[in-house]
Amino acid sequence: MTIIDGKQLSETIKLEIAQEVAAIKAAGGKIPHLAAVLVGENPASQAYVGSKVRSCEQVGFQSTLVKRDASISEQELLSIVDELNQDPSVDGFIVQLPLPGHIDENKVILAIDPRKDVDGFHPVNFGRMAQGMPSFVSATPYGILQMLERYNIPTDGKHCVVVGRSNIVGTPISILLSRKAKVGNCTVTLTHSRTKDLPAETRRADILIAAIGIPEFVKGDWVKEGVVVIDVGINRIEDPASKKGYRLVGDVDFEQVAPKSSYITPVPGGVGLMTVTSLLMNTLKAAKKEIYP
């Protein structure tokens, strides 16, 4: 069993990005600039955005954090999006989700200029991704592809079972892995809350991707020997023994599943760190105008 070390892999990729940034700087070019919009006080969102801003500093990017109270109106938020769309100094930006209930997330996503949509959430990027055209691929699926590629895990002809059909992870990764591509050519089963006999489906997986947001949901007897497990879940569970009062666990019961796996991602230290790194990769692509020349 090999643990896919998201921390080490993300450090390697960040070093590669930092070297490119240093070269751009040395040549007198413009330093890539990522902006993040954070609305409200959701602790997980604050932690994610904090990590994104810190990672920008690590690789030498410029970063801007736009922080607003949860009471912001939809119109005000749309104005901020428009300003970022127009600002030539900003190469890419994200609006951290979820947004407060009175704001229509789809409206906000649609307002983002696809050329600056480094989250890959805009339907133009999603559609381009689905058709195999150059696009910003959303950070978590992109991070998963990087993990499979850099650990040389074969995907060709494998049966991949994805648990969870979210717009951000389950649906895009199922499309990406089924596509004719270097990391792809899987036969994909996309499962969800209405799937009948889920353990029977997951037991057929050569590659299992768990992205449902339920702590330790996938059990040991749900997988076959030798499975490759990508655990996307980051769930807080109460833990009085911890200083913070909680600890992080994935969507997979690691203790039960790891002994049967050929490869597995841990939580924390797995997919989560790769997600932030993928966002940096997309921002570099935006700055270099690789997707939209």
Residues taking part in catalysis:
52, 96, 119
Q: Is the dihedral of CA 36, 233, 151, 162 positive or negative?
A: negative
Q: Return residues touching ligand GUN (CB under 6 A).
A: 94-97, 119, 139, 168, 275
Between residues 76 and 221, which has the closer beta carbon with respect to ligand GUN?
76
Between residues 200 and 214, which has the closer beta carbon with respect to ligand GUN?
214
Between residues 96 and 171, which has the closer beta carbon with respect to ligand GUN?
96
Q: Is residue 35 within 8 Å of residue 67, measured between CB atoms?
A: no
Q: Is residue 1 within 8 Å of residue 262, measured between CB atoms?
A: yes
Provide, rounded to whole angstroms, the least separation between the CB of residue 236 and ligand GUN.
14
Between residues 139 and 257, which has the closer beta carbon with respect to ligand GUN?
139
Residue nearest to ligand GUN (CB): 97
Between residues 266 and 272, which has the closer beta carbon with respect to ligand GUN?
272
Provide, rounded to whole angstroms, the least separation between the CB of residue 125 and ligand GUN.
13
- Joined together, the tokens standing for residue 156 give 């060709």
Provide, rounded to whole angstroms, the least separation between the CB of residue 36 and ligand GUN.
8
Provide, rounded to whole angstroms, the least separation between the CB of residue 138 and ligand GUN.
6
Contacts 24+ apart (CB under 8 A), 58-61: 58/14, 58/18, 59/14, 59/17, 59/18, 59/21, 59/280, 60/18, 60/21, 60/22, 60/25, 60/31, 61/21, 61/31, 61/32, 61/33, 61/34, 61/280, 61/283
Instruction: Determine the 3-state secondary structure of 286 from DSSP.
Output: helix
Provide, rounded to whole angstroms, the least separation between the CB of residue 139 and ligand GUN.
5
Contacts 24+ apart (CB under 8 A), 125-130: 126/167, 126/172, 129/172, 129/175, 129/176, 130/175
